Structure formats: C-alpha cells, structure tokens
Amino acid sequence: MLSLSPVLDRLSTMACASHARACAFLVLLSLAAFLPGFHTLQPLDRDEPRFAQASKQMLETRDFVDIRFQDEARHKKPVGIYWLQSAAVAAGEALGVPEARTQIWLYRIPSLIGAIATVLLSYWALLAFVGPRQAVLGAALMAACVLLGVEARIAKTDALLAACAVATMGALARVWLDWTRSLAFVPSSRNWLVFWGATALGLLLKGPIVPMIWGLAVLVLSLRERSFRWLAPLRFGRGLLLCLVVVLPWFLLIAWKTGGSFFAESVGQDMLGKVAEGQEKHWGPPGLYLVIFFGTYWPAAAFAAMAVPFAFARRREPQIAFLLAWIVPSWLLFEAVPTKLPHYVLPLYPAITALLLLALVNGGIDRFRRGSVATALLVVLVPLVLIGVILGANRSLDGTLPYQAMPFLLLALLMTVTVVAAFRRSDFEGALWRGVVASLLLSSGVYGFAVESLRAFKLSPRLAEAARSIGCADPAIMTVGYREPSLVFLTGTDLAMGVDGAAAAGFLNQPGCRIAFVEGRHATGFEAAITQMELTPRLITTITGFNLNGGRRLAIAVYARP
C-alpha cells in the first residue's frame, strides 16, 4: 500500500497543472463518486417521489405554475426544482427513453448536476483561500463527502441549493478578502453576477435559505468592520433588480393562481412550522448536527475536528474570520430549529473544508497532539459500522449476503486503515487522498451492489411490477394500508387510497380492469366484504418486505378483478 503514495502525488500534481485540467479531473471524480446506484436505486420515500410526482404532474397537466401531488396542493417549496426535473424528463422522452415519466433517474439529473456543480464551485471558492493543489484536494473531499453523495442520488432541491450557496459565498469571500487585502488577486468584474445569479436561483429552489446563509455572514463581518462599505463591489441595486426579474414573474403567477394560499402554506405552515416544532417526525435536539457530522462529512470529518484549535487560535485573521462567519451563525440557527434533517448543514461543508486545508498548510494539524490518532481512527469506524448494518440487513430481511458488494466494502475498509497509517507518518495530504479513494470504493459497494441486493426495501417497485404483469393497458388501482408516495409515482397519478379492506372490495366490485393492494392488517376486513359480494377476486401474488418509514415488515396482497 505504500506504493500508493507516489501514484496519488502524481495524480494531484497532474490535476492542478491548470484550471481546465482541474475541472476535468473533478468532473470525472464526481461521476465516479455519484453514478454508482444512480440509475438502479428505487424511489426513496417520502420526499423524493413527492418531488418527482409533482414534476410528473406538471408534464401531464401542462400546468407549470401550480405544484400538486395528486389532488393535494404542494405549496411548500418554490417551483425551480420542478421545472428542472420536468425539463430533464421531457429531454428523456425526446431522446426515446422508454416510460420516461416513471424513470426516477431522469428526475435525479438536476441533483447530479447540482452535486457536480457543488464540487466545481468548491474548487473555485477554495482558490480564494489556498493554492490550486489544496483547492483540488478540497473539492475532491467534497465529492467524497457522504452527505453530498446521498443528495446527488435523490431527486430534490438540496444538491442544487448547496451549489448556489457555495457560489454566493465564493463570490462574497473574494469581496471580503479584497477589502481586507488578504486576496492576492482582484476579483472579476463579473463577481457580482455570480453572487446574485446564484441567489436568484436559490430563491426559486428553496426560498430564503441561500440569502439567509450569506446574510448572516454579512451581518457578522459588517459588525466586525463596523461598516457595510466592503459590500459595494456586489452592486446590491443591480443585484436585487436581477433577482426580481428572475423570481417575481412566477411568484406573481402563483399568488394569482392560488389566491395567496401558496405563501400562507409555504411560509406560515412549512417554514415557520419547522422553526416552531419538529415537522414530519424530523425533530432533533440541539447538537444533533455535531453528532452526525462524523458520518455525514466522512471521510474528512475526523481531520476537520483536528483543525478546530487552529481555527480558534487564528480566528481574528481575515480568512479564518470569513469562514467562521460562513459556518457558525447558520450552524447555530440550524441547531436551534427543532426540525432536523442532515442536509440542512450541507452548504456549510465547503467552509469547513477550507478551514481544514488552511490548518493543513499552516501546520495547524498536530499528529502528536493528545487524542489525535484516536480521532483519526473514526475514519475506520464509519465504514466498519456501515458494513455491519448492511450485512445484518441483508441477512435478516432477505436471508442472503451482498456477495458482489463485499470486495468493494472490504477494500474500502482496508483503505481507511492506510489513512490512519499515513496520518501517523504525518503524511496528512496523502491521508486525505486515501480517504477519497476509500469513499469511491465504499460508494461503489453500497450503492452499486449492496442496496440493490436489498429486495425487501423495494415494496413499491415490486407492487408496480405485479400490476403491470396483469396485462391491462390502463388499470384502475387502489391501495389500502400502504400509502407511500413512491407507489403513486410508479403506478400512476390516479392511484386511489382506500381507508380499509371493505373499500378495496367495493373498488374491485366496479366494472373495468381493476387492481387492489391490500396490506395484511386489512386482510380480514377485505375477505369479509368479499363474501357479501358476487365477486371472487383473483389473488395475483403477495409481496413481502420492509417499510423503512414505518419500520415494519409488511405483507401486501395483490388482487385483480376477474
């Protein structure tokens, strides 16, 4: 394994030879990190199929203003992600992708683009703080980051939102460091366009989150300077006008179409509801993001923790002050909000990467500090725990083992051992590059093979497959007891949701090609109702599996009208 050092060194040197070569390398690295499982992973309940289904309904109805999930108004987020997903699916249809509107990977393309953009924009932002070699390493750490890898494979807003946030903060950093004379080059005259263009896109994606992140940083830094004059190069007048031109048309249209209810629901119920209490069972105590940080920012989290003393000691320096203003206010706000979701803090991870790199180049990481080696061992712990969970889940739920995934998982684990060995030799850069390699191996094993082998989790795809096997061109379908959004996405917008077994029996008693999914808890009521009708439904199959959201094993019978 020691022969890996010159290979990684040559690769790093080659990648940072020019900006074009660095970007090409980072795109290839990102694709290697994000593509395993991208096409095969089933729709992940509940958020992903809700977004995808709403985008699908836009294509079905040709209404690109209102956002709906079946007959229910989905007035939680602005329209940006739905437009992008609809465009990706429409492009897939034009290119001849079979059944494009139920191919979840097409809806994930904006997230994949957003994740790659986050990596590239991290490289651009990091160039304001470190040299090209370290900036490439930092962007590679973002590509290897567990949380960004998850968001790249989910059809929702957060990968793109992270890209917007990094773009604004990279532009803001150049203005700040130029003001404090900490920047070796003058920012581009188009820097303000990057800042405000990313802000406008962020507003269309998720409302005020991007302006909140840079706004808190601006407030902290302006209080430090006792002046807002340093913001002059961002041209706030032109920038705000640009935002209005981009976002105002749709906001006016949705206000007119919904009579203002969109803003009442998105701001009053969704956003303020998350501030007041933990929504949709996503409550978490303050400090939760700090606890899960070592998993979500793996493989670099342990080394970032070692950079904390360096950041504190040099907190008054302009570079460190900016990064802390990027991280600390928003992190504290997210910790204070009762609703906790891991991806909320993702836009702050590039700043943590920058602190890590600054500590690295300035001797701020001490191999001989008490507890440093024990902290480095956390790099080994994450894949070790993950491998145990995967093996246990495969064995208990499907009675098998992910044999194809095991070589990748074991190689990833072995690579993390070499990370610790490199750290103990004080080869910190080599340790981080080995972490990137370990992440690539782990994502290939987990997403490419292990998750695919977990058949028990694929209830909705198997139910949709059973419905197709009946042979009806356009069957009417009802589900009772199992109501996941992924089932709506895969079987059709008109999927009926029954309240009990009697409703399913009555549904099958009507004319036409009809299919009912009856979950085990409602089987007795269904059978009792059938005996009172002149109907003997045909049992097609019984699908057994595990519903992650409910945390329960389910048995769902598939019936068809004879």
3-state secondary structure of 546: strand
| Tokens read off for 284 | 């978490």
Higher pLDDT, 3 or 494: 494
In angstroms, the CA 176 to CA 146 distance is 30
379-387 average pLDDT score? 94
**What is the pLDDT at residue 12?**
86
| Residue 505 belongs to domain with CATH number | 3.40.190
**465 and 556 together in one domain:** yes
Question: Is the confidence at residue 104, as pLDDT, over 50?
Answer: yes
Show Cβ contacts of residue 525 under 8 Å, excluding neighbours closer than 6 positions. Answer: 500, 501, 502
The answer to whether position 44 is within a domain reads: no
**233 and 350 together in one domain:** yes
> Of 337, 361, 385, which one is at a domain's C-terminal end?
361
**422 and 466 together in one domain:** no
Question: Is the confidence at residue 3, as pLDDT, over 70?
Answer: no
Q: What is the pLDDT of residues 131-168, one digit of tens each?
A: 999 999 999 999 999 999 999 999 999 999 999 999 99
90-100 average pLDDT score? 97
266-295 average pLDDT score? 73
Tell me which residue of 362, 388, 481, 380 sits closest to 423, measured CA to CA.
380
Q: Which of 48-52, 269-273, 486-490, 530-534 has the lowest mean pLDDT?
A: 269-273
**222 and 350 together in one domain:** yes
The answer to whether position 283 is within a domain reads: no
Question: Is the confidence at residue 266, as pLDDT, over 80?
Answer: no
**348 and 450 together in one domain:** no
Find out whether 137 and 429 touch, Cβ atoms under 8 Å. yes
Tell me which residue of 196, 129, 169 sits closest to 327, measured CA to CA.
169
520-528 average pLDDT score? 95
Percent of the chain with pLDDT over 90: 84
The answer to whether position 191 is within a domain reads: yes
The answer to whether position 278 is within a domain reads: no
Indicate the DSSP class of residue 65. Answer: S
Question: Is the confidence at residue 76, as pLDDT, over 90?
Answer: no
Show Cβ contacts of residue 216 under 8 Å, excluding neighbours closer than 6 positions. Answer: 325, 329, 330, 333
**336 and 405 together in one domain:** no
**What is the pLDDT at residue 1?**
42
The answer to whether position 424 is within a domain reads: yes
Q: Which of 22-26, 257-261, 368-372 has the lowest mean pLDDT?
A: 257-261
Indicate the DSSP class of residue 339. Answer: B
**341 and 197 together in one domain:** yes
Q: Domain range for residue 380? A: 372-456
In angstroms, the CA 220 to CA 476 distance is 57
196-220 average pLDDT score? 97
**386 and 524 together in one domain:** no
Show Cβ contacts of residue 537 under 8 Å, excluding neighbours closer than 6 positions. Answer: 505, 508, 516, 530, 559, 560, 561, 562
- List strands edge to edge, sheet with 496-498: 496-498, 476-480, 514-519, 552-560, 538-547
Question: Is the confidence at residue 280, as pLDDT, over 80?
Answer: no
Q: Give DSSP secondary structure letters for 77-113.
A: S-SHHHHHHHHHHHHHHHTT-TTGGG-HHHHTHHHHH
Q: Are strands 68-69 and 72-73 parallel, antiparallel or unpaired?
A: antiparallel
| Cis amide bond preceding 49, omega within 30 | no
Q: What is the pLDDT of residues 293-320, one digit of tens each?
A: 999 999 999 999 999 999 999 999 999 9
pLDDT band at 2, cuts 50/70/90?
Answer: very low
- The tally of domains found in the chain comes to 3
pLDDT band at 264, cuts 50/70/90?
Answer: confident
pLDDT band at 72, cuts 50/70/90?
Answer: very high
> Of 422, 456, 490, which one is at a domain's C-terminal end?
456
The answer to whether position 477 is within a domain reads: yes
> Of 456, 473, 489, which one is at a domain's C-terminal end?
456
**383 and 484 together in one domain:** no
**464 and 450 together in one domain:** no
The answer to whether position 465 is within a domain reads: yes
Indicate the DSSP class of residue 463. Answer: H
**440 and 478 together in one domain:** no
Q: What is the pLDDT of residues 333-347, one digit of tens each?
A: 999 999 899 999 999
The answer to whether position 515 is within a domain reads: yes
Residue with tokens 């034009």: 94
* pTM confidence score: 0.95
**296 and 325 together in one domain:** yes
